[in-house]
Structure 1
């Protein structure tokens, strides 16, 4: 398959490429946080270990959430030179889902979860938005846009879709008839209805990633697959007021030289995407709420896609063609994360000796036995170097004797949520229960156990 130069941009555009090592100073807005378990505990059952990892990782979103907005900070160390106020739109969507898990697992009460979610929703309701879409970064105190790059200072519909994957799940969860939960649902619905997805096509059959009031369409980045952006097209098709035509999905996202694959890697067939699958977050971000079990369209079976992508990633680490120290059946997982050389979208075709725990741990639904092997190795064998107050640190390299001190919202969130989807399917059930999402998937001719049958609408 011919390599596409958009690959690096697609993989890196969700995160900052440079950062300082200064720890963010913060004050929790909680009267009582969740006590971290810093000592490595022996003799834990598999279920106890999963619960511990979910609970401790949740602290990133709960105790480290921004004190004014409640939103998820981009990272645990200072983002660029913007100071301590940078909060992330997509990472907050993951955080909202993590809060639901915490309530169901009794790490916090439902009332605490609802109050924090209301704080986030109230903040977003007043924050900067552009044609209904949010920017990648906001100032967590003021709600004003913090530009992500030189001309990226406006709407980011991929980040917005990751946010609303979480917010729609929250709307389906907070169903009680009381002032707090009523307000959550009402404001989420208002913001959801306001996103002008079809406007972001520029009257073409493809969605464009960015728009800025200062720079217009200067970023000029059409969203083509296959990558982490499937959820963007699903939500764009699901909009009650501003839905895209199915042609935008089939002729836009699914029409590129990096979409179909079909080749075998380590004797495992990869239906879609880059050779060897690309970074593993492709199998996670869109599927925090979108249930891949039995999910199919004319292009692929998405359970097969995600499972095989994960198995190929693991098989590459076991093969370890570059002979890096530490890679093994118990130590695998290449995805975008911090590294010893900065920030990089790690994959089998971009391998610089860095293992990222979220890669294997967020793959629990697809490879439960293999992910449990990795989890036990990370915790019991490497825990003295990896385990921290917010769960596992972002990444490590035994080859370079480098162990990150940082945590990133969009790496921590999938660990909690995808482990929960493996254990109970909770977020999958909530998101897929949305009537708009069901209609949107129908309009794109998806099939699956959670999607009501309907006649073909448009090709």
Structure 2
């Protein structure tokens, strides 16, 4: 995913008056005595409460006034299924909200102009204004965020399998949105897909050509009934993977520092027991790879090369998230650099900012280390970091005082810096991967989707549930 830090910094002024907070937000739900049930329900209610019921546009963040995020919409469309399963909403409510969302997206204007459009050639802009649902500021037409949106769209297509007219319409709209995406257009440097496009400058000069969250993008692109990529594309992609293979902080695995790169594709695709030729040659599957990456995060925290406060077995988790701001503070005689929104990870950018989604989004991979860590983190810091919709996006126990202006959040005694927002793309993996850990529901629904199966088979996956 493109680091949103630079876009967000450049567009702060444009936010003023452009995005308004939702009104009529529901009251805080009663606390469930089971911590993980409580976390999951609160994360679900983030999407149900803050999404605009008239359009289906889910905010990038809340409560700070925000534009809509198309990736957050994809997570929301999937989270609604979790809500129905647990009785938090009815099937009728679920269908009505989903139908509203898909109809709005299907009707949204597409074109190559810089303003007045929501997307182009079936792709959508990364961020949309909350009133008209059109391109926000100068953000990019995003290939990965469109793919994450489609994860939710195809979940809805498979979930709503009845003859009810609304459900029939949902399935048709989902198919329409998926077929509209022209994957073969956005390949200026074959065989790889560009990260995006701007009407002002054309294709972004970076491609999805390493191991990261982009696996779902290629599965969807390979499966397209209208604009498919050649089957050899996946093999070309995995030829690049050895650049990422290593054994730092644990067992050998494909390394990608921010944890989201090991999580997003797995929200929708069940990689357990299925293998392409590349990962088969390593003797594992991609699910096991993400398990090893989760353990590597904990091992890095135990090593704690930067001497960050609280790091260890019961406090870890680095990914892309909010941070306090872009400044340097002297702590215990040493200058410490801090960042605002940024991708963070072991061995790369690490300012001591921890994101609960980094661990909770991995709960299906390694529950034996995630669950006790989350319980301890909640017991130790919950009074300062756990609120209406669960864990706030991030916190930093290393930063306890500063005279520098904070970009996000505030300093909380006994905790350190704490963000003031929830982010849709971080809430999504929490509610959905808790469900995959407990019931495998999202994976089961997506295994029924013919596009997912076709994409995996064209990529050369075999075994497991594909057999």
Please confirm whether the aligned pair reaches a TM-score higher than 0.5, indicating the same fold.
Answer: yes
**1:321 maps to 2:305:** yes
Q: Once the 2 structures are TM-superposed, how far is the Cα of residue 121 of structure 1 from its aligned partner?
A: 0.8
Partner of 2:56 in structure 1?
70
Residues 355, 393 of structure 2: 8 Å contact kept: yes
Q: Deviations over 1:209-265 (max 9, x none)?
A: 212444322x222211111111100100011111100222222x3344x65444322
TM-score (norm 2): 0.84
Structure 2 CA distance for aligned equivalents of residues 74 and 136 of structure 1: 10
Q: Once the 2 structures are TM-superposed, how far is the Cα of residue 318 of structure 1 from its aligned partner?
A: 1.7
Partner of 1:299 in structure 2?
278
Partner of 1:27 in structure 2?
23
Matches within 5 A, 1:6-25: 10=1, 12-13=3-4, 16-18=7-9, 25=21
**1:156 maps to 2:142:** yes
More displaced 10-residue stretch of structure 1: 442-451 or 354-363: 442-451
Residues 34, 59 of structure 1: 8 Å contact kept: no
- Name the SS of the counterpart of 2:464 in structure 1: coil
Structure 1 CA distance for aligned equivalents of residues 4 and 42 of structure 2: 28
Structure 1: 5+ residue stretches without partners: 1-9, 79-83, 453-459
Structure 2 CA distance for aligned equivalents of residues 214 and 12 of structure 1: 20
**1:281 maps to 2:260:** yes
Structure 1 CA distance for aligned equivalents of residues 37 and 146 of structure 2: 29
TM-score (norm 1): 0.86
Structure 2 CA distance for aligned equivalents of residues 148 and 100 of structure 1: 33
Q: Deviations over 1:15-59 (max 9, x none)?
A: 95436999953124x8xx464236xx7xx4xxx222111111112
Partner of 1:437 in structure 2?
452
Residues 211, 244 of structure 2: 8 Å contact kept: no
Partner of 2:343 in structure 1?
345
Pair 181,227 (structure 1): closer, same or farther in 2 beyond 3 Å:
same
Residues 37, 389 of structure 1: 8 Å contact kept: no
Q: Deviations over 1:382-415 (max 9, x none)?
A: 1111111111100001111101111110000110
Residues 356, 391 of structure 2: 8 Å contact kept: yes
Matches within 5 A, 1:29-428: 33=26, 35-37=28-30, 44=33, 48-78=34-64, 84=65, 86-127=67-108, 128-149=118-139, 152=140, 155-202=141-188, 204-217=190-203, 219-251=204-236, 253-256=237-240, 259-270=242-253, 272-273=254-255, 277-300=256-279, 301-341=285-325, 342-349=340-347, 350-400=349-399, 401-428=416-443
- Name the SS of the counterpart of 1:326 in structure 2: coil
Residues 356, 395 of structure 1: 8 Å contact kept: yes
Residues 123, 143 of structure 2: 8 Å contact kept: yes
Structure 2 CA distance for aligned equivalents of residues 445 and 413 of structure 1: 28
Structure 2 CA distance for aligned equivalents of residues 13 and 385 of structure 1: 26
Q: Once the 2 structures are TM-superposed, how far is the Cα of residue 365 of structure 1 from its aligned partner?
A: 0.8
Structure 2: 5+ residue stretches without partners: 109-117, 280-284, 326-339, 400-415
Partner of 1:446 in structure 2?
461
Count of residues paired in the alignment:
417
